[in-house]
């Protein structure tokens, strides 16, 4: 079929269509079907080849054999494993990062990478997550509890420089379990040398 399809009701395409499809009902593109043009409908389900945009007012579903080159736009989009897509996928009206909690969580992730220094890493690995005084119990920050307990009121993450200021003092205060690798505190090298002598 070469031309435009427009109408009310559902449409099932099992052959080849070259042109735009615009119906107000559901559109099913069969496995052997090939559509070259935009498809607009309520629920669009694709199992064949589409070269064009898919705009569903209710949802777009790409099944296993689907091969789509074009944008997907719908409030609900499903892409089954095995489907091939190349294009922009847009679910309009998604409040993904709307709440302040979510925003803080998002900003906390990159600073975490700066937290564990080489001196403190074995520490962090051995220690069980403690209940910290921090105001937001974010799961991502558990691996570094000693730092958290010392600075609960700070809204932004303390930098690495700050933390390494008094590592020895902090460790003595909290009596942590003995680490696998001995952490070199100040003067440890000298002590070790004395022992060997």
Partner 1 sequence: MATVIGEGLSIEGDLTSNEDVAVHGTFRGKLTTDDTVVVGATGAVQADISGSSVSIAGQVTGDVTASERVDLQAGGRLVGDVRAGRFTIADGASFKGNVDMEM
Distance CA 45, CA 54 (A): 10
Shorter beta-carbon distance to partner 1: residue 8 or 118: 8
Structure tokens given for 169: 């003092």
User: Site mask, partner 1, residues 58-97, x = CB under 8 A?
Assistant: ----------------------------------------
State the number of binding residues for partner 1 (CB under 8 A): 15
Q: Which is nearer to partner 1, 9 or 178 (CB)?
A: 9
In whole angstroms, how close is the CB of 19 to partner 1 at the nearest point?
6
Nearest distance from C-beta of residue 66 to partner 1, angstroms: 22
Ranges of H-type helices in 114-166: 121-126, 145-150, 160-163
Cβ atoms within 10 A of the Cβ of 29, count? Answer: 27
Residue bearing tokens 């690798």 = 181
What residues between 2 and 31 interact with partner 1 by CB under 8 A? 2-11, 15, 18-19, 23
Residue whose tokens read 């003995």 = 178
Nearer to partner 1, 16 or 104 (CB): 16
Q: In what order do the strands lie in the sheet with 34-36?
A: 16-18, 34-36, 49-51, 67-69, 84-86
- Least separation in angstroms between residue 20's CB and partner 1 is 10
Between 5 and 83, CB nearer to partner 1: 5
Taking the C-alpha atoms of residue 18 and residue 115, their distance in angstroms, rounded to an integer, is: 57
Closest of 39, 46, 33 to residue 78, by C-alpha: 46
1 binds partner 1 (CB under 8 A): yes
Binding site for partner 1 (CB under 8 A): 1-11, 15, 18-19, 23
């Amino acid at each position: 079929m070469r031309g435009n399809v427009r109408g009310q009701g559902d449409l099932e395409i099992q052959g080849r269509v070259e042109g735009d499809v615009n119906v107000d009902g559901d559109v099913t593109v069969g496995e052997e079907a090939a559509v070259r043009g935009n498809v607009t409908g309520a629920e669009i389900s694709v199992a064949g080849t589409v070269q064009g945009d898919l705009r569903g007012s209710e949802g777009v579903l790409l099944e296993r054999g689907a091969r789509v080159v074009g944008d997907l736009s719908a409030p609900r989009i499903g892409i089954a494993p095995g489907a091939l897509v190349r294009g922009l996928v847009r679910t309009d009206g998604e409040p993904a990062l709307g709440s302040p909690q979510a925003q803080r969580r998002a900003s906390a992730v990159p600073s975490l990478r700066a937290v564990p220094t080489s001196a403190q890493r074995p520490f962090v690995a051995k220690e069980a997550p403690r209940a910290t005084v921090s105001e937001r119990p974010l799961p991502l920050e558990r691996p570094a509890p000693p730092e958290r307990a010392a600075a609960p009121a700070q809204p932004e993450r303390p930098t690495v420089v700050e933390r390494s200021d008094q590592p020895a003092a902090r460790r003595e205060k909290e009596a942590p379990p003995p680490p696998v690798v001995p952490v070199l505190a100040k003067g440890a090298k000298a002590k070790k040398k004395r022992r060997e002598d």
